[in-house]
A and B are shown apart, each in its own frame.
Chain A
């Protein structure tokens, strides 16, 4: 089965109808799409973002979506695809994750790979070093850098899959048969491990121990970041942990920034750029990832027409900032007031938050990180690739 056939059949396997929203940010899946328009013509994705991405993809020479799915075409994974198919009709999160991987949208777009390729191209070959002469270069990017981009996506996807494990003893009868959940967990763990193993092998092939160390430490950061996401998620009474914005920033760096930042740095290392260039690439990756995350967090508060019952993450940037301005006690009071018979009225709470300073603060924070990212880019020579990276920053910092 080649890539095209797999992509054509996957959405069919995974079922086209909507699924319960386990991941609050997952886009709705009521559009069936065909491979021809894989870029996602659904009216929900902003045309501007798509334009930025498609321009960028032309610059790096080929579409970067579905990168991690390419490694999924081995024998094992036709096995896995069949196993995941058995989960259709159950409520295991793996199904949602798998759908998210094939469905193109702002949140699940394979952004990291694209950014790594762009920054590789923007930096170009290093001035001093002749040892890269024997690497082959396509569209201004070394093959080892392309490989690195793929590895980055593999690591990201692996943890995405591992995020979808469920705790067996927290299951309720509404979640369906226990057997299905256990089976889903099994497949999720194995698929995630398979992706990680592929990433490790890919890293070994790069024959550069510093790059291996960078990406391994990025993985360690990512694991800690995901751990925090799990732990700080709201409990039954919707009261979140008391974390201030600086702790939030640290945790978000771990879960969203570290991988991209360190990959960008590693891409520079592969081309033998010096420490200064590596640092600039790191800064771009870090700040761009932070502003991208804050932008996603802001969507429920800045979109014109929001469905009142649409939920949002109580640990997202605007909410954390709102809490910090209000003080813990008042915040808890607001949550309680927004509850009716133990269920949170998200619409009501959203209005309270919008009335406060959380949203505007978050917008400022997003722009702050965006500017830091642009600053880092200034040290790269002007080029198409650099402009594409700038455009990405502009796209995530606009809220009109």
Chain B
């Protein structure tokens, strides 16, 4: 069985994760046309009596991962699997397109929340809501909203309040980015100068506060106290995550737990709690709320782990921000912590937060020589599998499947 899977996979297009992509290759779409590859795949299997188009999507992923547990790279062939028969395969293979259907006008609506009379402050606050970000969080929220609504009562309707959660998630995220950039003295993000470099630190901090206050107003207007409690938890977690980053642990074992806790608080908490919030609005069943939360949490941690990997493997043009950024800030992320197990010499550098000249480069070399990147990627996969396992408990729908696909995208993205 395993060998057949291998041959079949080689027939389809795939790209190993964590390798620098060739220039010009798009982030998301698979190289050959989706239909062609789908035909190739289904042909490869028809002689075995296994018709790919009949296998429920999530089982396919499960087969893959259980058959090849030690492979660090993930195939993207499944992007090309034809989905439901009533729609063309093309339309719903991209979770981002699917999610965006509910998010049209997202940035315009956020800008409406930031409508204040002070023009420079407004300009600063709107700076990152230009439509150029990944908008991953709103997409996840929108897809989760539909998946939960369908699960609950087959409703294909998204409530206005659920859409507002998507706005709020993006606003809270951006407010924290603005403050983080001042704290880290960052000069560029998303391919352009940071707010603090253009307008100065004082105003940048105020812009972050403004975005946060606008998000809170929007949150209050939803009128649901449970949802308010869920999302204010995020604000606290974001700050605590930054504090965790300030401090460091002496003990190697504690370091990893500390790193995962920081990762949860800084990245996953927002996604997990936004998912939970939309599920609360869409469905009264606490089991569903927990599923949504767990999906968000696991996907969030995986996302950050891959982000930490990309800091080593990608180049700065791709990312829109300089790389080795974490090392330069004195942060020991996943790849570094794993590498340290192979090269104990790194311990001293970690303890002094890479502050001596040459530390950053040496640490980077150690990481690239070790299997730190692969280990971190593998760990990210595990979290993705857990996310998929959870979300699969919901009733099938295009949105649920898109959320499953998203976990793959999270693993294979290159920026």
Contacts and interface: CB of A to CB of B under 8 A. Distances in A.
A371 B285 CA distance: 55
A162 B206 contact: yes
Contacts of B213: 216-217, 219-220, 223
A69 interface: no
Given A189-B205, A223-B209, A212 B118 contact: no
A203 B246 contact: no
B216 A219 contact: yes
Contacts of B205: 162, 165, 189, 192
A228 to B, nearest CB: 7
A186 interface: yes
Contacts of B240: 76, 197
Interface stretch (B92-100, B226-234, B302-310, B399-407): B226-234
Nearest to B221: A213
Interface string B185-209: 1000000000000001111011001
Nearest to A202: B232
Interface residues of A, number: 44
B219 A212 contact: yes
Interface in A152-171: 159, 162, 165-170
Contact of B209 (A159, A169, A203, A212): A159
A60 B219 CA distance: 32
B229 A204 contact: yes
B183 interface: yes
Nearest to A181: B201
Interface in A202-253: 203-205, 207-210, 212-213, 216-217, 219-220, 223-224, 226-228, 230-231
A192 B182 CA distance: 13
Contacts of B239: 190, 193-194, 196-197
Contacts of B394: none
A166 B201 contact: yes
B121 interface: yes
Nearest to A187: B246
A79 B240 CA distance: 12
Nearest to B217: A216
A196 B228 contact: no
A223 B235 contact: no
Nearest to B196: A168
Contacts of B200: 167-170
Contact of B228 (A83, A212, A226): A212
B309 to A, nearest CB: 26
Contacts of A207: 225
Interface string A174-196: 00000000100110011011101
Contact of A209 (B209, B228, B232, B236): B228
A243 B246 CA distance: 43
Contacts of A197: 232, 235-236, 238-240
B12 interface: no
Contacts of A200: 216, 232, 235-236
A162 B206 CA distance: 8
B163 to A, nearest CB: 18
Given A165-B202, A190-B239, A212-B220, A204 B232 contact: yes
Nearest to A228: B118
Contacts, number: 128
Interface in B84-140: 116-118, 120-121
A143 interface: no
Interface string A70-88: 0000001001000100000
Nearest to A254: B118
Contacts of B118: 224, 227-228
Contacts of A165: 182, 201-202, 205
A201 interface: yes
A189 B228 contact: no
Contact of A220 (B202, B214, B232, B233): B214
Interface string B170-189: 00000000010011010000
B243 A76 contact: yes
A221 to B, nearest CB: 9
Nearest to A250: B117
B224 interface: yes
Contacts of B243: 76, 79, 190, 194
Given A200-B232, A204-B232, A212-B228, A189 B212 contact: no
A296 interface: no
Given A167-B202, A217-B213, A219-B209, A224 B219 contact: no
Contacts of B216: 200, 203, 212, 216, 219
A198 interface: yes
Contacts of B247: 79
Which among A213, A217, A220 has the greatest number of chain B C-beta atoms within 10 A? Answer: A220
A226 B206 contact: yes
Interface of B: 116-118, 120-121, 179, 182-183, 185, 200-203, 205-206, 209-210, 212-214, 216-217, 219-225, 228-229, 232-233, 235-236, 238-240, 242-243, 246-247
Nearest 6 A/B pairs, CB to CB = A216-B216, A213-B220, A212-B220, A220-B213, A167-B200, A219-B213
19 contacts: A79-B246, A162-B205, A162-B209, A182-B185, A189-B179, A190-B242, A190-B243, A193-B238, A194-B239, A200-B236, A203-B216, A203-B228, A204-B229, A209-B222, A224-B118, A224-B121, A227-B118, A227-B121, A231-B120
